[in-house]
Amino acid sequence: MQTYFILTINPGSTSTKIGVFENETEVFTQSVEHDSTILETFPTVNDQFEFRKKTVLEILAARQFNLHQLAAVVGRGGLLPPIHAGGYRVNQTMKDLILAGRLSPHAANLGALLADDVAAPLGIPAFIYDAVSADEMADVARITGFPEINRKSLCHVLNSKAMGRKYAQEMGKTYTEMNLVIAHLGGGISISAHKKGRIIDVIADDTGPFSPERSGGVPLLALVELIYSRNYQKNELLKKIRGQGGLKAHLGSGDIREIEKRILFGDTKAKQVYAALAYQIAKGIGEMAVVLKGEIDGIILTGGMAYSEKLTTMIKGYITFLAPVKCLPGENEMEALALGGLRLLRGEEEPRLLTGD
């Protein structure tokens, strides 16, 4: 079997992660946490490009990895306009779209640019895989009570699909044979319904359970009243929704391990909010179970919070009657990017190209 070395690049809001894989095997991964005060000196996310590139190259140099061994570079896919799930080859149309600065600002948008910058001089392909904005949602799921607003398919596509494939393999099946509900429990929470290999509906991080740092869905009438009574500016409110909401807003910390210690020492407020977190996650899973009409082969709990036996046990207490529940904790994004790139290199999947349309 042919050997492929693949470099993966995953720019996060406050970190840059890279990994090198030899086929399915991890050679190394490394994450660099960035000082937020340094990142704040850049006017836009795109302005961070050279800083992030320097980080990537310094890691590779320190590891003394020979770039000429690489067969491909796979970057995290960002908040592009709705695209298909799976792999895309980075082309000029994609780069121009990102560089225009009109996308929702997210560090993941730099994944394609960084991958291409490393790959181009080597004459090898640069890909993105399962971008955040990958959209397979059923049309009926898009409609809301506001004609001006449609629901969008925004969830942790990369890790959710990767864990769907992993679970299917464990069950002796393929991902495209199974119906799954997958809850990604990280700094943000998303819950998705997977029908025969397609994500047909999602509960995004702003419409469902609150999370360590995000508010989740809140009552609209109360939110409107709050905005006007306190004269919130847009940026203030966005921070309350993403970054200063959820567990952090209630308890001053988004660290679930710290909160579990506080519960152990008798903090009744922490216990109540923690129980509400588990309750809301379970309720969201139930909502996606209805989307699949109860025909569910498995429920997967993934993401960083899935390491918590306390939280996952509480969630299971609500949902085990629906289907078998499997915990596959962690982000798993570097492996997911590498395995996606490997399928593209082996010809098991064909990469798409972003067009002007």
Residue 254: give its domain's CATH number: 3.30.420.40
User: Of how many residues is the chain composed?
Assistant: 357
Question: Do 195 and 72 fall within a single domain?
Answer: no
CA 19 – CA 303 distance, rounded (Å): 18
Question: Do 243 and 293 fall within a single domain?
Answer: yes
CB 106 within 8 Å of CB 75: no
Cα(first)–Cα(last) distance of the chain, in Å? Answer: 38
| Nearest one of 278, 339, 318, 327 to 298, comparing CA atoms | 327
Question: Do 78 and 193 fall within a single domain?
Answer: no
What letters, b where the CB count within 10 A reaches 16 and e where it falls short, cover 85-119?
bbbbbbbeebbebbeeeebeebbbbbbbbbbbbbb
Question: Do 188 and 168 fall within a single domain?
Answer: yes
Candidate from 27-31, 92-96, 185-189 with smallest mean pLDDT: 185-189
Comparison of pLDDT for 357 and 351, the residue scoring more: 351
Question: Do 46 and 172 fall within a single domain?
Answer: no
222 has a pLDDT exceeding 70: yes
Candidate from 93-107, 110-124, 274-288 with smallest mean pLDDT: 93-107
Task: Retrieve residue 327's tokens.
Answer: 């915990």
CB 342 within 8 Å of CB 18: no
Question: Do 158 and 68 fall within a single domain?
Answer: no
Question: Do 287 and 311 fall within a single domain?
Answer: yes
Does residue 236 fall inside a structural domain?
A: yes
Average pLDDT over residues 2-29: 94
Question: Do 304 and 161 fall within a single domain?
Answer: yes
Task: Retrieve residue 101's tokens.
Answer: 């600065």
| Nearest one of 204, 78, 200, 41 to 136, comparing CA atoms | 200
CA 167 – CA 176 distance, rounded (Å): 12
24 has a pLDDT exceeding 90: yes
How many domains is the chain partitioned into structurally? 2
181 has a pLDDT exceeding 90: yes
Candidate from 43-47, 101-105, 297-301 with smallest mean pLDDT: 101-105
Structural domain for 99, as ranges: 5-132+334-353
CA dihedral (329, 160, 284, 298) positive or negative? negative
What letters, b where the CB count within 10 A reaches 16 and e where it falls short, cover 313-343?
ebbeeebeebbebbbbbebbbbbbbbbbbbb
Does residue 328 fall inside a structural domain?
A: no
Average pLDDT over residues 286-312: 97
Question: Do 210 and 61 fall within a single domain?
Answer: no
This prediction has a pTM of 0.88
Question: Do 294 and 148 fall within a single domain?
Answer: yes
CA 126 – CA 117 distance, rounded (Å): 9
